[in-house]
Amino acid sequence: MAVKVVTDSTSDIPPQVLKDLDITVVPIYVVFGENTYRDRVDIGEEEFYNRLCQDSVHPTTSVPSPKDFADAYSKLTKETDEIISIHLTSKESGTFNAARLAKDLIGPQCRIEVIDSLSVSMGSGMLAIAAAQQAKAGKRMEDIIPMIRRSVPLTRILIMVDTLKYVVRGGRIGRPQGVLGNALGVRPMLTMKEGDLKLTGLVRTRAKGIDRLFDFAVKPPVLKEAAVSYTTDRKDAEALADRISKTFPSAPVYVTRVGPALGTHAGPGAMGVTVRAEPE
């Protein structure tokens, strides 16, 4: 039986890729006031970003329960006895721990390996894609897991946000940094440092921010794959992906939309680049 791959909805993997590689997604919860929605199940991107910009109530997020993961794992045990579950950084969310608790609920009937991506969005998404590609090629768990763990430090992300307002509201970065990032109309650049979200720089204009994202994407000497993720501006994302593809024509470059769960913290106008480099 083939290895099955599970991730959470913050991985932002394009829907067609999820379908082609048979990746199972456990949704994060998005809460508007008294109403709770499953990310991309009960609320889609268009409705969410419209409400984010217009609603007086700012949304919050909550992690899936261990039972949510256990239900997903239990369903897959009818098809496999090996599951690899890859999730967003444990430093910023309890999702990874919920998945680990669910592993204990399932017990010995299925071997489950839960992996902390130490990243967000396609930082975890590309690891899940890589694992699913290997599984589809017939590789076993003992072959896939070491490859994924080697890829974690080789997978990096840089994010440009229009404002740190949403990141600060969600508690993902400190208020003093938020004040600095919102000063003088500059656009903050964020990255992941060992699983923690950090402010790494400021740019004066959106165009300069996009150039910074491009420079980040083409820095690896050998780029294995890249992704451009966006919240509301697809044209900018597609243009950046095209620039990256022309520099590394053999590397796949995904264009993907950030879903409601991460969009709660990124806000409108945000865009990020994720790169996975070849080992030297």
Query: Any idea where the domains of the chain sit in the sequence?
Result: 4-28+63-151, 155-277
Q: How confident is the model at residue 165 (pLDDT cuts 50, 70, 90)?
A: confident
Tell me yes or no: is domain 155-277 CATH 3.20.20.70. no
CB 163 within 8 A of CB 202: no
pLDDT of residue 171: 55
**Adjacent-strand bridge partners of 192:** 197
Category of 162 on φ-ψ map: left (φ > 0), alpha (ψ -120 to 50) or beta: alpha
Q: Which of 220, 27, 196, 223 is nearest to 118 (CA)?
A: 196
Q: How confident is the model at residue 176 (pLDDT cuts 50, 70, 90)?
A: very low
In tens, the pLDDT along 215-244 reads 999 998 889 999 999 999 999 999 999 999
Answer yes or no: same fold for 4-28+63-151 and 155-277: no
Measured distance CA(51)–CA(60) in Å, rounded: 13
In tens, the pLDDT along 5-16 reads 999 999 999 999
Fold observed for domain 4-28+63-151: Rossmann fold (3.40.50)
Q: Which of 231, 273, 233 is nearest to 254 (CA)?
A: 273
pLDDT of residue 13: 98
Query: How far is residue 63 from each of residues 82, 91, 133, measured CA to CA in Å?
Result: 24, 13, 27
Q: HEC profile for 250-268?
A: CCCEEEEECCHHHHHHHCC
